[in-house]
């Protein structure tokens, strides 16, 4: 209305069409922009995940030695020993590139309430582990993941438990590349994960490539590095060394979850991994949610619990 008013006033003064258009658009932006900024910040505020505190859970701080320093993590478990014994399993949580262990509390606290012991840690270069190396060193993150497994196997209170893992985005690369070949890891949930690392980054948008470059991410790795960072290639190499019967059993350890509108790691990555694993009856496909799986939190938790509870 204000824009139309400004247009009419300037037209009555004999200003040109272009002048009327520019002034009316400027008026619209001056009025609209503050409201848009307000609603954007309001959405961020209401959509945030605030810290969760559950009296049923016991949280212990842990430190795990890795190359370059220490990984800081939380060991989360239900206070009821009967509930914990009913699951007899520990789940390693691997967060995404820009996240910390606290970011995923909404996901793993429900698992802990179910009775699963949770080991959530800050990857090198992030959160409490910020001083331990660089967060863009993905190969070291995989090495660190193996150290976490070693730490669990050397812990008398934990080494008899079944070992599961969950990874988001880069964390899913970590869990698959580091955990899939490891027979100690019985189940892996991979959420929004890459198939071929180099191929995915090559096809990324210019803006995404620029963002990765600023953050020091290697967007053009050599073939040997790409082999180690590509879940598809890691799993394929194992498949080639197993019989069809052995592979059918081995591949059942993975649950893939992906949103069709993921712009960061496109849906075709899911399709490639699914085709290789031959587990189409179990994976979870979501229409919306993007890379961060926003508003899909209940679906993620529900699908994961069902998967972990299956024999």
Q: What's the rounded Cα separation, in Å, for the pair 97 and 301?
A: 20
Model confidence band, residue 107 (pLDDT cutoffs 50, 70, 90)? very high
| Longest CA pairwise span in the chain (Å) | 87
What's the chain's average pLDDT? 92
* pLDDT over threshold 80, residue 114: yes
Category of 44 on φ-ψ map: left (φ > 0), alpha (ψ -120 to 50) or beta: alpha
Burial class of residue 150 in the structure, from the number of CB atoms within 10 Å of its CB (0-12 exposed, 13-18 middle, 19+ buried): middle
* pLDDT over threshold 70, residue 280: no
Identify the weakest region by mean pLDDT among 17-21, 41-45, 178-182: 41-45
Q: Do the bridges between strand 284-286 and strand 254-259 make them parallel or antiparallel, or are there none, so unpaired? A: parallel
Domain-terminating residue out of 46, 62, 78: 46
Burial class of residue 136 in the structure, from the number of CB atoms within 10 Å of its CB (0-12 exposed, 13-18 middle, 19+ buried): middle
Shared domain check, 89 and 29: no
Q: Please name which of 32, 309, 180, 296 lies closest in space to residue 24, comparing C-alpha atoms.
A: 32
**231's tokens:** 């879940």
b/e per residue, 200-223, with b = 16+ CB within 10 A?
Answer: bbeebeeebbeebeeeebbeebee
Give the single-character DSSP code of 224: H
Count the domains in the chain.
2
Shared domain check, 132 and 8: no
- CB 123, CB 94: distance < 8 Å: yes
Model confidence band, residue 220 (pLDDT cutoffs 50, 70, 90)? confident
Shared domain check, 102 and 32: no
- CB 130, CB 113: distance < 8 Å: no
Shared domain check, 172 and 210: yes
Identify the weakest region by mean pLDDT among 46-60, 177-191, 226-240: 46-60
Shared domain check, 217 and 70: yes
What are the pLDDT digits (tens) for 155-209?
A: 999 999 999 999 999 999 999 999 999 999 999 999 999 999 999 888 888 888 8
Shared domain check, 63 and 17: no
Identify the pLDDT of residue 46: 65
Shared domain check, 148 and 65: yes
Model confidence, pTM: 0.84
**Residue numbers of the domain that contains 204:** 54-309
**CATH number of the domain encompassing residue 103:** 3.40.50.1820
Identify the pLDDT of residue 11: 86
Q: What's the rounded Cα separation, in Å, for the pair 221 and 218?
A: 6
- CB 257, CB 284: distance < 8 Å: yes
136-157: average pLDDT: 96
Identify the pLDDT of residue 207: 81
Shared domain check, 160 and 38: no
Identify the pLDDT of residue 48: 66
- CB 94, CB 165: distance < 8 Å: yes
Spell out where the chain has E strands: 57-66, 69-78, 89-94, 117-121, 162-168, 185-191, 254-259, 284-286
Share of the chain above pLDDT 70, in %: 98
First to last CA, the chain: 64
Q: What's the rounded Cα separation, in Å, for the pair 188 and 166?
A: 6
Neighbours of 254 (CB within 10 A): 27
Q: Provide DSSP, 154-218.
A: T-TTTTTSEEEEEEETHHHHHHHHHHTT-TTEEEEEEES--SSHHHHHHTS-HHHHHHHHHTT--
């Amino acid at each position: 209305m204000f824009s139309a008013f400004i247009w009419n006033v300037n037209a009555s003064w004999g200003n040109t069409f272009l002048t009327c258009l520019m002034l009316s658009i400027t008026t619209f932006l001056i009025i609209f922009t503050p409201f848009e900024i307000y609603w954007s910040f309001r959405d961020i505020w209401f959509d945030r995940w605030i810290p969760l505190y559950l009296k049923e859970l016991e949280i212990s701080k842990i430190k795990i030695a890795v190359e370059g320093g220490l990984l800081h993590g939380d060991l989360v478990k239900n206070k009821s020993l009967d509930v914990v014994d009913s699951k007899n399993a520990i789940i390693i949580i691997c967060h995404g590139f820009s996240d910390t262990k606290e970011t995923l509390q909404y996901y793993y606290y429900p698992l802990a309430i179910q009775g699963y012991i949770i080991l959530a840690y800050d990857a090198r270069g992030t959160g409490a582990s910020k001083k331990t190396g660089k967060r863009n060193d993905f190969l070291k993150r995989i090495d660190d993941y193996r150290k976490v497994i070693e730490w669990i196997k050397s812990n008398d209170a934990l080494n008899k438990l079944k070992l599961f893992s969950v990874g988001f985005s880069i964390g899913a690369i970590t869990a698959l590349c580091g955990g899939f070949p490891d027979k100690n890891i019985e189940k892996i949930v991979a959420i929004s994960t890459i198939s071929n690392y180099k191929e995915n980054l090559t096809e990324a948008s210019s803006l995404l490539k620029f963002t990765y470059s600023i953050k020091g991410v290697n967007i053009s790795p050599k073939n040997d590095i790409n082999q180690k960072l590509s879940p598809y290639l890691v799993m394929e190499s194992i498949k080639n060394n197993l019989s069809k019967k052995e592979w059918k059993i081995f591949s059942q350890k993975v649950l893939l979850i992906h949103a069709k509108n993921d712009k960061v790691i496109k849906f075709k990555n899911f399709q490639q991994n699914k085709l290789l694993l031959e587990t189409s009856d179990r994976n979870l496909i979501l229409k919306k949610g993007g890379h961060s799986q926003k508003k899909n939190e209940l679906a993620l938790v529900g699908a994961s619990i069902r998967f972990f509870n299956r024999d």
